[in-house]
Structure 1
């Protein structure tokens, strides 16, 4: 079932921006500052230095006072670069008379900025100019070495901008842009900041995507910058709330991690409230303006297709994310569980970059009837298993069952051999941050009271790192589910515990995942089919420890041959078998 999210406040504090901020009205450019009384001719703004794919920021000051600057005027900036490249970025209001434009140059060279606004009389916003001199990124973070994410040409996985395959391993931290996760405080002496401690630990564990939510569409949310809206949802935007989020997203980006972000839960936009759709569309544009210059994926809304929600409205909001974003970050919508009435997928829409699936919790699905069906749907889209068996949570709607480590691990491995392009992990006390066991937040008490600094080190997180190391040692992007690659003995399970394989097109690599036997039956036995000539070696990989052990070898001398697979070392545990053909 889905998890019901709630938003909570924290102590107010003034947020500071961590990205580079350079004003267009610097003293050196005072003649073209755009301040009241300045000449209205096109100001020649500052020249900024940048590295490719790293955000820089221009600051402008409005010469016109607006009753509601968030809604009354729009700012747009066009960046013209080498070889005729043009990127158009929206700007955003950041309080008072301050407006900002953020930009991450995708290629080295000179980029020229020109601004326009919907109020041509505003000399502070309209017809400003600036320059970004970009050099190639010199650091060691892959997202800036290779560029922001794209969908692969074959629609099966995500790549960096230069085409390098991107292995998605995400962590669900849905409250970590809110005051529920404390930016400037920690109750664990190992970390000075709860927020940074969670992010730093996940990076060390191998995660490269973090799922965040602003909850700015749901109302009643705040962080150290104050509430998201003043005087009610969608009434008066509070820029300091977003300034605080800037610090958090900037920190995540500084670690080289991709931010997969939603506005919040989908239940706020229903058939009964769809007259507010323009507010959601404007908020989407605002989020693009603030964060498109960072490594992002637009998840848009959580559980957008829950029965009763206006799913088609959310599709229009997602369209705004995609159409407004010049970097073409992948855009998606997070599904409600299929078994509970979700599963809407606008695959035929050009903006729909990936499926963000939800298996649910305390459920163990089979490969053939779940992930494989997703893989086989058309048009082809990458599938990410975004919400499956958060480790250690209390599934209160199923007699308070606690999701076990093996369930979390098994969902991840089954999804991978079933053809998904990525996995998201979730842990009690971290998917929704719980300060301590007595945290009064509804999610902490309903789904278990595991403190964040205990949930952060549940064994499943380390085991997700083992999964990543296993697959990234292979040409994983070439692996495809192979339901006919193995003929299993009659004693093998055919239900949720079906063993399953994925192979490369040339059959030089075969990965077989053996779930543990829930029925206490005999070990799996099967025959690998349709092999090509060569010498093959076999290795067992233990998903619990990350260790390999030899499992034998065999020679194939003719085409379409078969070979007997060894039974797994123990039927009470899950195992992965790697079969490799040598040179």
Structure 2
């Protein structure tokens, strides 16, 4: 499990920029990226010498003396300068080459020793050491450390205690199908719009049977054969995500689809083998693991995922782990006691009828967050912008996306939210209906879908949330005296506040009037209206105590602060 830290005292400070803040010279952002990526590669390679930076990936290569089976379980025990023991797995990288990757978190001399059940010459009983030194601080992860769960279990933070606001973009196919130049263009756009994570798929799956080179991650069912060359291509894409100050969120084993291309439907032992390989290969990067994707977690499947989770992550230090369920499902009760499960993400899905809307703001997430143990709760798949809605058969608009995002932020203790653009998630290069997603609508090419207005609105959302102590917010509709909550689900007003009574955030999807019981937020002295379409703020003056009238009938955010 991630190390627990003291409560945070700091947060990111994002500049308030004019509307087209991501439209300035692309060459400037490309040069920044190239410098960061070069440093990332340099710091990974520096382990060939004697030094590696703190919170920078260390990599060591072993050469097997013979053809060691790729299923060999090679363990690498690392001992920190203070004497702490951390176990990592080595992974096969083709031929006789095996590697181990790791991020050291203490300055000083680290030692390592390998072990295996069987004797594998060149791999067993190998020893060595390296020096961990101060890093250059060129990425947010080098400055603040890897991402982990905060001590209270409600949100994510960096290793130094800095809160991490999750704003993920969905590029399930992006790392699989993009070339390096296009991937850089996309990541630069998302970084400049203040996204903090990228959700992607790490193997073939139902919307990409192979990568552009015709490679697949694995072949076989009962006897899995892993193809390192597929992952060697993926390495550069995941490295680029981190170099752009973005957390990578790989789906290890997508679960919905035909067994011939769906790793989540492999036999448990073979699925475990593949997940162990992916964890070993990318555990030295800055990641949050999505163990399963689009699974229904029916009773007969729960044991399957428990066994995999325990085998891959149990009783060892690892990056945060979550499970991705199907739409409007809350499958987590059977997993409550699984220590390896750190974060609860859900999919509110792509519907737009009243039941779909009510599920977001008043469904299971709004109730289950009170159950122990506490875990961050995040809507990782609200409706995708420009995706055809299930009921109305109309494309989801930027307004639909904003509404779902703010409801999702305020239906449980605030931890973050994800976004998706139809055409980006499937990485289309021309107008097309994504593979095996009939009914979702013709998707724009990724470079056009990347500019849909909802992504701009998400940048404003990030600016708002990171300007306040968002990690202190919890749902508190008792503050709301009117409207009563019995209105049309599409007009639901969500309210969250801090326990100290010094912060309030309310989302009004259709403007109008709200009446607040301000005695429940005694430290709040200043109110402002935040326009989620433009990122602009204006003073909010009550008509009479506790009564606020939105500027118009569009959606607005009311923010109350101590000063």
Same-fold call, TM cutoff 0.5: yes
Residues 222-241 of structure 1 correspond to what in structure 2 (within 5 A)?
A: 222-224=211-213, 226-230=215-219, 235-241=224-230
CA RMSD of aligned residues (A): 3.1
Matching residue within 252, 261, 284 for 1:293: 284
Q: What's the counterpart of residue 196 of structure 1?
A: 184
Relative distance call for 1:84 and 1:93 in structure 2 (3 A) is same
1-structure distance, mates of 2:434, 2:342: 38
- Note if contact 2:252-2:289 (Cα within 8 Å) is conserved in structure 1: no
Matching residue within 517, 525, 528 for 1:536: 525
Q: What's the counterpart of residue 406 of structure 1?
A: 399
- Note if contact 1:429-1:444 (Cα within 8 Å) is conserved in structure 2: no
Matched, 1:436 2:418: no
Match of 1:107, SS? coil
**How far does residue 528 in structure 1 lie from its aligned partner after superposition?**
2.5
- Note if contact 2:509-2:555 (Cα within 8 Å) is conserved in structure 1: yes
Matched, 1:505 2:499: yes
Relative distance call for 1:458 and 1:371 in structure 2 (3 A) is same
2-structure distance, mates of 1:115, 1:225: 34
Relative distance call for 1:100 and 1:497 in structure 2 (3 A) is same
Relative distance call for 1:440 and 1:534 in structure 2 (3 A) is closer
- Note if contact 2:194-2:459 (Cα within 8 Å) is conserved in structure 1: yes
2-structure distance, mates of 1:200, 1:274: 35
Residues 86-485 of structure 1 correspond to what in structure 2 (within 5 A)?
A: 86-120=85-119, 122-178=120-176, 181-184=177-180, 193-216=181-204, 220-224=209-213, 226-230=215-219, 235-267=224-256, 276-305=267-296, 310-323=301-314, 326=317, 328-338=318-328, 346-363=335-352, 364-365=357-358, 367-395=361-389, 397-398=390-391, 400-419=393-412, 420-438=414-432, 441-443=435-437, 446-485=440-479
Segments of 5+ residues of structure 1 without an aligned counterpart are 1-16, 25-45, 185-192, 518-522, 555-561
- Note if contact 2:178-2:427 (Cα within 8 Å) is conserved in structure 1: no
**How far does residue 443 in structure 1 lie from its aligned partner after superposition?**
4.2
Residues 47-58 of structure 1 correspond to what in structure 2 (within 5 A)?
A: 47-58=49-60
- Note if contact 2:501-2:523 (Cα within 8 Å) is conserved in structure 1: no
- Note if contact 1:223-1:241 (Cα within 8 Å) is conserved in structure 2: no
2-structure distance, mates of 1:550, 1:446: 41
Q: Larger deviation: 167-176 or 495-504?
A: 495-504
Relative distance call for 1:291 and 1:19 in structure 2 (3 A) is farther
1-structure distance, mates of 2:430, 2:265: 38
2-structure distance, mates of 1:352, 1:47: 36
Q: How many residues matched?
A: 516
Match of 1:177, SS? helix
2-structure distance, mates of 1:382, 1:118: 37
- Note if contact 2:530-2:557 (Cα within 8 Å) is conserved in structure 1: yes
Matched, 1:574 2:555: yes
Match of 1:153, SS? coil
**How far does residue 19 in structure 1 lie from its aligned partner after superposition?**
6.9
- Note if contact 1:336-1:342 (Cα within 8 Å) is conserved in structure 2: no
Deviation per CA, 1:119-174: give whole Å up to 9, x if none: 32x33111222222111223242222221122111111111112221111111111
2-structure distance, mates of 1:433, 1:214: 14
Segments of 5+ residues of structure 2 without an aligned counterpart are 1-39
Calculate the TM-score normalised by the size of structure 2: 0.84
Q: What's the counterpart of residue 8 of structure 2?
A: none
2-structure distance, mates of 1:574, 1:232: 50
- Note if contact 1:52-1:137 (Cα within 8 Å) is conserved in structure 2: yes
- Note if contact 1:217-1:263 (Cα within 8 Å) is conserved in structure 2: no
Deviation per CA, 1:546-575: give whole Å up to 9, x if none: 000111279xxxxxxx9322111112x110
Q: Larger deviation: 353-362 or 129-138?
A: 129-138
Calculate the TM-score normalised by the size of structure 1: 0.81
- Note if contact 2:226-2:274 (Cα within 8 Å) is conserved in structure 1: no
2-structure distance, mates of 1:491, 1:129: 64
